[in-house]
Amino acid sequence: MSRQGIEFDALEGRLAGTLRPVPPRDEFVQRLRGHIHVPQGAELAVRLEEWVRLMLLFGGILSGTVVVLTLSRALFHLLGRKNG
């Protein structure tokens, strides 16, 4: 074992004797429980449905943008050839 390993072992031994677990205060635990909210199955289904709608909306907007850009490039290309 290297010298650093021995130093870490001694340090860990001292810390193990020095550091003690501290129980949290009851009001802290109650406040924390109030902040933690696990949704029920129905609530999860509604949230998932909202995400599906959002993704469909995003996909529709993205698809529409691609179609408009493609048509505008095609028109620009065709009109550019006639003038050139």
What is the rounded CA–CA span in Å between residue 74 and residue 67? 10
What is the rounded CA–CA span in Å between residue 4 and residue 48? 52
Structure token pair of residue 19: 């550091």
Number of domains in the chain: 1
Structure token pair of residue 74: 């095609």
What is the rounded CA–CA span in Å between residue 60 and residue 53? 10
Q: Which of 39, 59, 36, 37 is nearest to 48 (CA)?
A: 39
Q: Which of 45, 1, 71 is nearest to 9 (CA)?
A: 1
pTM value? 0.45
List pLDDT tens digits, range 36-65: 877 777 887 888 889 899 999 999 999 999
Range of the domain at 47: 3-83
| Bigger pLDDT: 35 vs 1 | 35
Does residue 33 register a pLDDT over 80? yes
